[in-house]
Amino acid sequence: MTKNELKELLNSLTLEEKIGQMFQALPHIFGEQGAITGIFDEKIEVDDLISVVGSILNMYDTERMKNLQKQHLEKSKIPLIFMNDIIHGFNTIFPISPALASTFDAELIKETARITAKEVAPFGVNATYSPMVDISRDARWGRVCEGYGEDTYLSSVCAKAMVEGYQGDDLSADDTIAACVKHFALYGAPYDGRDYNNVDMSERMMRNDYLPPYKAAVDAKVAMIMTSFNTINGVPATINKHTNIDILRNEWGFDGVSITDYGSGKACYSAGVTESHAETAALLIENKVDIDMMSGVYGMKHLGKAIKNGDVSVEQIDDCVMRILDLKNKLGLFEDPYRYFKGSAVIPEAERAKHRAVARKTVSEGSTLLKNDDKLLPIKKDAKVAFIGPFVYENDLTTHWSQIHGEREIGLNVKEAVETFGELTGEYSYSVGCPYINMNEAYEDKPNDPCNGEYEKYEAEAIKNAENADVVVMLMGEPSVFFGESRSRTDITIPQVQMELLKKIHAVNKNIAVILFNGRPLVLTELSEMAKSIIDVWYPGSQGYLGICDMLFGYTSPSGRLPFCFPRKSGQVPLYYSNILTGHDNYEGQFSKYTLRYIDTLNTPLYPFGFGLSYTDFEYSNLRISSDKLTKDGTITVSVDIENKGERSESETVQLYIKDERAKLVSRPTKELKGFKRVFIKAGEKKTVSFEINEPMLRFYDKDCNFVSEKGKFHAFVAPHSYYEKSVEFELI
């Protein structure tokens, strides 16, 4: 439709029809199945929903979706739009977001989103509530598992890659979907790590560290944005005019659709901020929030009242509805409202196999080798291996956001995966050894008990298998019920029962390699003392165990780099590498006790952001810079030589960090990531890796929140991780 035709359509709508477009409902309202991700309030007050409602969330049955569209179009001129949470894959489930970030590979991340769109679009889903780009530096927060880590630059790269992958070049294409960046804003920074809690943050920190990933999505032309549950400096994000209007709409020029999070409209009243839902409705409109997800605030009762009271004008409503119609138009729904309901069968099996191959490759690229003493890994193909731990017979490494259509049926457990490798000729034993958690502990959601209550039997079997093995592979970590929405923890450790088993295994065999499953950075201090090797695989998705075996037996190398700092103790969080300088960072000698520190642990993380080993050894040398002076419109190049000293050809992730030594009246971070490259270096080969530095890369929000660069001294680090110390100096003149 042309803009004029859309306008005509808008003008032909009744007020009820317009308001209906702005309301998003669960299919339950129509007696249909869907996934509930929040409070389900039966009393939502919108008359004759089937004809007026504009969009549906989280419906997973193509035939029923098609039917609903049909029923709807019998009464309405405007097709429904279907939006779902498709977070890290639809049929092919990719590793969770921190693992995707660990790849430091924008092209691969984009490809995962591209594949997801190809799989979900023919299912009838038009938009996904992804990517979630909330910077998270406090690993207690349960939704750390959904974002891309602690770092602004890396998360911004991921945001762009995901949006481009989902949306392609043309939203109306059969295999693209609209992306919805979330949760705007600052949802990842609740002050005590508890999900939904308030965020109090300076304007400067917000702009320097937390907002850029959302902005990167907007710059990549993301179609939608979702507001967040939290308050920002006291004001709910959903009605925070500063973020929603001043920044998002006016500064960044976002003209796409804004949607509330699940019920976050109604929550403004519960937060004691508004006097009535009608007032909330008026505020939402003022904030140019176009769709209200599942709270009914945009029903006739409340929004209608606000209009009647003169608090909302019809022009304001038209403005919101136009953006929604525009999105439907871009998706091509007016031409053919049924065009997307083709069913997954349209994707040939050969294509699906390619998708799985990408997911399998992503497991190696997104897994991080934290330790590898005595080069225990990779395991020889004829070695005797004992696989031990509660994850041994687990064949679902996909997590809760991969509900319903994730390829669980082809998910293998480790035994089945090993058996697919014809070349493995060793002896392999498998024992669960212990449950995921102490089953007597009172948890709201408990994982299943792989020992069926027979703990002594399984423990004895595991110890015996360990005694007889050359290498023990421990499959352990956080059960998936420990992370996700509303699942914050105070103690970010591996459950005690698994650590106890590890100690007993360690007593009989020191050749331990741990495959670590986790949804957040964990405290690995004790584990690191016992394990010779650790590979952090996060939750690696539907190709998880095949990918794990690829790495264990050396078919591939784990080549991920951590997107978070991993603390030594829980009490260290929030912990991140780019803390701003305090003036007390480095007192030595007799005054050292006045240094910024804890008295019971070090300042440094156990494993820093950007860290990761590989099966070969890379040596950095000859760091140099093309000039020690940088002019405002010039460029200088910083380079390093990297030699692959080992016997395997592998890729290294080279990172550029910059430290701004001094700024006018505000402290700057100890350093900041400004670039990275994944380079493949053959065994014995030496390569030069270079990064260009220019003035825009040095800009930041200063004391008065102006985006500027300041003349003076900087340090450039070309480094394997964020705590690497070697740098070269240059001056911005």
Write out the catalytic residue numbers: 261
If the CB atoms of residues 172 and 486 are measured against ligand BGC, the closer one turns out to be 486
Least distance in angstroms from the C-beta of 57 to ligand BGC? 6
Tell whether residue 676 is a contact of ligand BGC (CB under 6 A).
Answer: no
Q: Which of 30, 82, 104, 129 binds ligand BGC (CB under 6 A)?
A: 129
Total of residues contacting ligand BGC (CB under 6 A): 10
470: how many CB neighbours lie within 10 A of its CB?
16
Task: Determine contact, residues 50/75, Cβ cutoff 8 Å.
Answer: yes
Closest CB 272 distance from ligand BGC, rounded Å: 21
Is 261 one of the binding residues for ligand BGC (CB under 6 A)?
A: yes
Q: How far is the CB of 329 from ligand BGC (least distance, A)?
A: 24
Tokens 């890994």, residue located: 377
Q: How far is the CB of 512 from ligand BGC (least distance, A)?
A: 37
Q: Which of 55, 58, 244, 488 binds ligand BGC (CB under 6 A)?
A: 58
Kindly tell me the number of DSSP H helices and DSSP E strands found in the chain. 20, 26
Min dist. Cβ of residue 129 to ligand BGC (A): 4
Helical ranges in 373-493 per DSSP H: 414-420, 455-467
State which residue, 32 or 373, has the beta carbon closest to ligand BGC. 32
Identity of the residue, 42 or 374, whose beta carbon is nearer to ligand BGC in the bound complex: 42
Per-residue binding string, ligand BGC, 79-118, x by CB under 6 A, is: ------x---------------------------------
How far apart are CB 459 and ligand BGC at their closest, in Å? 39
Instruction: State the residue number with the nearest CB to ligand BGC.
Output: 37
Cβ 377 to ligand BGC, closest distance in Å?
36
Rounded distance, CA 24 to CA 260, Å?
10
Q: Which is nearer to ligand BGC, 13 or 53 (CB)?
A: 53
Give yes or no for a contact between 530 and 506, defined as CB atoms under 8 angstroms apart.
yes
Which CB atom, from 293 or from 303, has the smaller least distance to ligand BGC? Answer: 293
Figure out which of the listed residues 21, 37, 126, 614 binds ligand BGC, where binding follows CB under 6 A. Answer: 37
SS3 300: helix
Is 262 a binding residue for ligand BGC by CB under 6 A? The answer is yes
Tell which one of 20, 27, 38, 122 touches ligand BGC (CB under 6 A): 38
Nearer to ligand BGC, 261 or 461 (CB): 261
Write the DSSP string, 102-149. HT--HHHHHHHHHHHHHHHTTBT--EE---B------TTSGGGGGS--
* Binders of ligand BGC in range 476-505 (CB under 6 A): 485
With contact defined as beta carbons under 8 Å apart, do 722 and 610 qualify? yes
Site for ligand BGC in 174-203 (CB under 6 A): 182
Q: Cα separation of 117 and 126, whole Å? A: 9
The greatest distance separating any two alpha carbons of the chain, rounded to the nearest whole angstrom, comes to: 82
Query: Nearest Cα to 606, choosing from 652, 553, 642, 569?
Result: 569
Q: Which residues contact 638 (CB under 8 A, 6 or more apart)?
A: 623, 624, 625, 626, 656, 690, 691, 693, 716, 718, 728
CB nearer ligand BGC, residue 184 or residue 458: 184
- If one asks whether residue 41 binds ligand BGC (CB under 6 A), the answer comes out as no
- Alpha-carbon gap, residue 378 to 426, rounded angstroms: 13
Give the whole-angstrom CA distance, residue 534 versus residue 476: 11
Contact 719, 680 (CB under 8 A): no
- H/E stretch holding 267 reads helix 267-270
Question: For residue 79, which of 65, 99, 92, 96 has the smallest C-alpha distance?
Answer: 65
C-beta of 555: minimal distance to ligand BGC in Å? 36
Please, what is the minimum distance in Å from the beta carbon of residue 84 to ligand BGC? Answer: 8
40 or 421, CB closer to ligand BGC? 40
DSSP state of 180: E
SS3 content of the chain, % helix, strand, coil (to 5): 35, 20, 45
260 binds ligand BGC (CB under 6 A): no
Write down the least CB distance from residue 224 to ligand BGC, Å: 11
* Complex with ligand BGC: residue 30 or 401, whichever CB lies closer: 401
Peptide bond into 447 cis (omega under 30): no
Residue number with CB closer to ligand BGC (486 or 490): 486
Q: Residue count of the chain, please give it.
A: 733
Quick one: tokens of 95? 């590793």
Q: 489: which 2 tokens?
A: 């923890």
Bridge partner list, 680: 651
Answer yes or no: are the C-beta atoms of 141 and 574 closer than 8 Å. Answer: no
- Amino acid occupying residue 1: M
Question: For binding to ligand BGC (CB under 6 A), which residues are involved?
Answer: 37-38, 57-58, 85, 129, 182, 261-262, 485
